[in-house]
Amino acid sequence: MKEKEEKIKKEKMPKKENIKKEKLDKEKETSKFVQAIKKKWLIDGTKTCVLIILIIMVFIAINVGMQSLDLAPLDFTQEKLYTLTDESKERVKDIDKTVNIYFVGYSDDDADVSLAKQYKSANEKIVAEAVNADNRPDLVEKYGIESGSTGIIVASEERSKVLSSSDLVTYDSTTYETISIAEEKLTSAILSVTTEDIPKVYFLEGYSDFTLGNNMSYLNIYLQNEITEVDTLNILSEGSVPEDCDTLVINSPLKDFDDIAKTAIIDYIQKGGNILWLNAAMATSIDLPNVNEVLALYGVNPFEVGIIRETDSSKMVSGSPDLIIPSLGYSSITEDLYSNGVILANATKININQDELENLNVTETDLATTSENAYFRTNFNNSSTTAVEGEETGAFVVGAELEKTITEANDETGETALTSKLVIYGENYFASNYQLMENSQYAGIQLAYNKDLVLNSLAYLSDREEDITARKSTGTVTYTATQQQDTIVRIIIFAVPVIIILIGIIVWLKRRRKK
């Protein structure tokens, strides 16, 4: 009878009371489970030890299982410095050759080793591992790695490349920061040992203060991360542009080309050679007839003394009219750079003779232009932030690609058109060391994004459009733990938890004795 009454009462209870009662029942069940653990396990010291051992074994088993899965490490850095980018995965996914990456003298948990192992997720033919020099003396002997030192071997069936640990980083000499370029170096090495044809880029020397060894060393470092061979060219000693030159880089001539140089460059153009031209703004007038003769082949008029200044606040950096953010035109060179943009400092305008382009068989593609509100300042003593009377205003071209047809295609013979391309920028600081030496907020932005503009231009001119991309922004590491600091961190991670467990056991034993 009582059971029936209880049942009727329960059915009449409001839904909220039923829910509350269910919660209480669950809490009672949980409490019973906890009490059972305390009574049946914790009272008996032996059983307690067994329980602790079981927990430790489960923890070890989970760790071993996770390691066997070879999962990518968790990366909480803003720029994902320890995670392989989609760009790198895309570039290696179609490689059909086996590539082995051996980290000689590295530990298996090294950050660079972990990064290299992630290539396997994009292409199973790329395998990275840490090896011991004692266990693999064949590698040490074959690739000339000194005993006791570290090295990275990237090897395919046909070719191999050896990197040192110092190759995976570079340094900012002004901030003394270490900049990781591990992914760029490894991706470049993988592609270089699997690519059949590697383009060669020559930098013209003898006519400018900007050379690979002087003011352009950072660009040299970034170029070494690309699938490109780089060399310098003294055209007076060589007498011509080498036959293996895919792209010739000319950087802000401060004196006129010698006749030998002019003839050699024109001959190179007539054979279908490509040129990347970087030109700084001119502060004084310089007579450069031979230089101008070369530019005229593409319809480019001589550069003028002066710099471009912006008045549109959305097209300048921090209210500085000399630091312009140009609009990027549609091109394979710039298509991956729209979201980040580029910054040009003290740029000059590129004067293109529109009336002559057709006669020269040249087509123009604008790569970078200013706003309509920009102006061209020739009087450097004028400090006005707006255009004054007599100053030219309007949208100026600061980057362009000009393609010159040397010979037309012949359908009857099946011959393709022979063309020569010129990619030209009215600024060169964005590709020089000066961008890194500026002690200001925009220096980091220049380093992060502007290098892509020049690297993409070189990839395009070298007919390697698959290498055009928005590259990973490098991060900086300003702190390295000493051996003593490393030991302290390890003690905190491993010893402290053990001490806490021991203290817990001692306290439990004391309380048990009191009972």
**Is 80 exceeded by the pLDDT of residue 491?**
no
Residues constituting the chain = 515
pLDDT band for position 482 (cuts 50, 70, 90): very low
Dihedral pair phi/psi, residue 327, rounded to 5°: -80, 135
**Is 60 exceeded by the pLDDT of residue 153?**
yes
Residue 372 is classified by DSSP as T
Range scoring the smallest mean pLDDT among 190-199, 361-370, 495-504: 495-504
Place of tokens 């840490």: 130
pLDDT at 441: 46
pLDDT tens, residue by residue, 288-305: 999 999 999 999 999 999
Tell me the mean pLDDT in the region 34-60.
63
pTM above threshold 0.75: no
The dihedral formed by the CA atoms of 260, 261, 262 and 267, expressed in degrees to the nearest 10: 90
Reduced to 3 states (helix: H, G, I; strand: E, B; else coil), residue 134 is coil
Highest mean pLDDT among 69-83, 160-174, 342-356: 342-356
- 402 residue type, one letter: L
pLDDT tens, residue by residue, 61-88: 766 665 555 555 544 444 555 688 888 8
Place of tokens 């007076």: 236
Q: Residue 248: beta bridge partners? A: 202, 275
